[in-house]
Amino acid sequence: MFSLRVEPGKNVYENIGWVNPSTAKEIGIREGSVIIDAEFRVSPIRVVLNDLVREGEISLPIHIMYKLGAYAGEERKFELVEDIKDAERADVYVVGNMHDWIDYLYKNKHIYVTLDDEIAISPKTSIRILDIEGGGAGEVYRISHNTRIRIQFAGLMNIAVAIDSSVAMMERWGEKRKVDIAKELSKILLEYNLRKTLNCAIFSYADDVDILLNWISIEPKLRWFMTVLIPRFVTDMIIKETDERDLEAALETIIHGLEERDLGRSALNTILIIQAKDSKLNESKMKSFAKRMSEVSGGVWRTIWVGLGNENFENLRKAASIFGGKFITARTPPGIIKRARRMSDFRHVDRMW
């Protein structure tokens, strides 16, 4: 354990601290060493040697000083971290811009964290380490490209909704028509999430695809209004006199729209699919769609797949599995409403590189 005076340094969005080479030699640390505040044991700091820092001091970015509750000129005790464990699995909560996190991780190759740590990675994005498999408080872990990361996300999204408009929507499930259940589900699933939506598109599909709303940008002052307006598209859409549901055409329309408008890195891409019955599935084509989704979305996206009725929805389940998304179904209409409410805050993210 050793003591260093804390002074504010450059306001970079990394967990680094600058130390004079003479001071580093005296206390037994070197360039790239990882140290941690001995009292709080959060925010591991990677040491960078710099001749401009005065001896006996450590220069820290403001965001680290804030987390440690440190003030300029204060003497703090630090420890050299000698046992850094590689995190095999980690749950990370990203707040802000998802692609800031992706860029940050690729740029840094690996980062040092503690359980429940919060790290500012850009002026508009921070991450919180929710869990590390087998992790304990105060222990330092290395998150790298080998770590299997599950992501939760809070921030702006682009959302595409595709709703079955085949004649199957007029069938009754329990006491209600499936189209009426779809309207209720869309309200539950979209009401909160549309308030965080940057761009929105709505499609209906049967033997072909109809555009109900074609990737409009939703201004902040209009988001509340859109939460009321958009579920009405479900009941106002034209029901086709066909039992065909061309899910592949719907996905092609959505992904092509994302590619054409270059929306991939503006916000997190989210797709919501609602179907009254199962549809045909070409697995190789679905895998091709998932690959294109990965390319346009920078490796991260989110999908929710809803099946209305008592059938197994084998093909819709497979599509959800290929995309890595969440599949929602139930034996009864009240059951599917209950499950939709559990999913109403879209925090889960399907893929990471």
- Domain boundaries defined on the chain: 2-80, 85-154, 157-342
Residue whose entry in the numeric block shows the structure tokens 């509750």: 69
DSSP type of residue 325: -
CA torsion sign, 274 to 281 to 205 to 176? negative
Digitized pLDDT (tens) for each residue of the chain, 353 residues in all: 999 999 999 888 889 999 999 999 999 999 999 999 998 888 899 999 999 999 999 999 998 998 888 999 999 999 999 989 999 999 999 999 888 988 888 888 889 999 988 888 988 899 999 999 998 888 999 998 889 988 888 888 999 999 999 999 999 999 999 999 998 898 888 877 888 888 999 999 999 999 988 898 887 776 667 766 766 666 677 889 999 999 999 999 999 999 999 887 778 999 999 999 999 999 999 999 999 999 998 888 899 999 999 999 999 999 999 999 999 999 999 999 999 998 887 777 765 43
Amino acid, single-letter form, for residue 336: I
The pairing of strands 125-132 and 118-122 is antiparallel
**Residue of 47, 45, 143, 49 whose CA lies nearest to 90:** 143
- In whole angstroms, what is the distance from residue 138 CA to residue 12 CA? 24
SS3 content of the chain, % helix, strand, coil (to 5): 30, 35, 35
User: Which three-class secondary structure state does DSSP give residue 121?
Assistant: strand
* Cα 113 from Cα 56, distance rounded (Å): 25
Q: 215: alpha, beta or left, given left = phi > 0 and alpha = psi -120 to 50? A: left
Distance CA 86, CA 89 (A): 9
Q: How far is residue 347 from each of residues 13, 153, 179, 216, 314, measured CA to CA in Å?
A: 24, 5, 26, 23, 25
Bridge-partner residues for 250, per DSSP? none
Contacts of 8 (CB under 8 A, 6+ apart): 59, 60, 61, 62, 65, 72
Nearest in space to 294 (alpha carbons), one of 315, 265, 319? 265
Residues recorded for the chain? 353
Using alpha carbons, list the distances in angstroms from residue 131 to 71, 89, 140, 272: 29, 8, 13, 28
77 - beta bridge partners? Answer: 3
Q: Which top CATH class is 85-154?
A: alpha beta
**pTM attached to this predicted model:** 0.82
Q: Which CATH superfamily is domain 157-342 in?
A: von Willebrand factor, type A domain (3.40.50.410)
- Alpha-carbon distance of 147 to 163, in angstroms, equals 36
> How much is the mean pLDDT over the chain?
90
> Each residue of 26-75: pLDDT tens digit?
999 999 999 999 988 888 999 999 999 999 999 999 989 988 889 999 99
Comparing CA positions, the residue from 306, 170, 321 lying closest to residue 237 is 170
Task: Indicate the CATH number for domain 2-80.
Answer: 2.40.40.20
> Residue 26 CB: number of other CB atoms within 10 A?
12
